[in-house]
Copies of this chain bind each other. A is one copy, B any other.
């Protein structure tokens, strides 16, 4: 069985990561994941939030927003509405948590890396695209810190990637586009390490429930997708030999 766009049930959309797309940011990546386009920048600041001062450890945080016309219908800007978008707030908390798990914060020094994920065009899966591309921008920012001798080694703990899986019309499908997502009975987002462990697992029944057997199927499909995305991340990062060993060690 094939999907609307001809993909198989366990097939990812066409994904391309482009690095170094912003001349100012310490790391950046533009991901085109089907028709979902997200621009991620990693910005380094020599300070940490008030609650962490004096610990000697660093911090990684994320912000997520959509351009007004990223979607089929134009949405008003948050600033115009004068209030925070609950959905965006939830997503940026997820991105931040996921990417913090990639790094040994105690070895960053009192610095903050902010990952800005701005969705230029949205066709489903913007949060998982943001995490997967944010990892690339983050790794380049870590490289920048090593090159500028702020740190001596890259304190990578885990390679992180993410993908969505859903149940649509009774079938488990990998990497939902917007149309599939809107029709899904179950919607799950998986954030996993190179070893196939979970950083985050969120499964939601949209008006229905899902069984433990279905959960197992969702996880199997998701892990296959994530393994493929992690290969792409390694390729686009053009790892040096030492970095490749680092990745192999800290799966």
Which residues of A are at the interface with B, using a C-beta cutoff of 8 A?
A: 22-25, 28, 35, 39, 41, 43, 45, 63, 65, 67-72, 74, 77-80, 82-87, 89-90, 92-93, 97, 100-101, 105, 114, 116, 118, 120-121, 158, 192-193, 195-212, 215, 219
Determine the chain B residues whose CB is within 8 A of the CB of A100 once the complex forms.
Answer: 207
User: A198 touches which one: B72, B80, B203 (CB < 8 A)?
Assistant: B203
Q: How far is the CB of A117 from chain B (nearest CB, A)?
A: 10
Known: A35-B23, A121-B24. A205 touches B209 (CB 8 A): no
Check if B90 sits within 8 Å of A84, measured CB to CB: no
Check if B118 sits within 8 Å of A67, measured CB to CB: yes
Determine the chain B residues whose CB is within 8 A of the CB of A89 once the complex forms.
Answer: 84, 86, 89-90
Closest to A201 in B: B203
Determine the chain B residues whose CB is within 8 A of the CB of A63 once the complex forms.
Answer: 68, 77, 80
User: A90 touches which one: B23, B79, B93, B116 (CB < 8 A)?
Assistant: B93
Report the Cα distance A65→B114, complex, angstroms. Answer: 19
Determine the chain B residues whose CB is within 8 A of the CB of A28 once the complex forms.
Answer: 69
Check if A116 sits within 8 Å of B39, measured CB to CB: no
Known: A82-B83, A200-B204. A43 touches B69 (CB 8 A): yes
Given contacts A24-B69, A196-B212, 16 further A-B contacts (CB under 8 A): A22-B120, A24-B121, A25-B69, A41-B68, A74-B114, A82-B82, A84-B89, A97-B204, A100-B207, A105-B207, A193-B209, A197-B205, A198-B203, A198-B210, A198-B212, A200-B204
Q: Which of A45, A74, A158 has the most CB of B within 10 A?
A: A74
Q: How far is the CB of A39 from chain B (nearest CB, A)?
A: 7
Report the Cα distance A202→B204, complex, angstroms. Answer: 8
Check if B86 sits within 8 Å of A83, measured CB to CB: no
Determine the chain B residues whose CB is within 8 A of the CB of A209 once the complex forms.
Answer: 101, 158, 192-193, 195, 197-199
Report the Cα distance A203→B202, complex, angstroms. Answer: 6
Check if B193 sits within 8 Å of A101, measured CB to CB: no
Report the Cα distance A207→B105, complex, angstroms. Answer: 9
Determine the chain B residues whose CB is within 8 A of the CB of A114 once the complex forms.
Answer: 68, 74
* Nearest 6 interchain pairs by C-beta: A78-B79, A197-B209, A86-B89, A41-B69, A43-B74, A90-B90
Q: How far is the CB of A27 from chain B (nearest CB, A)?
A: 10
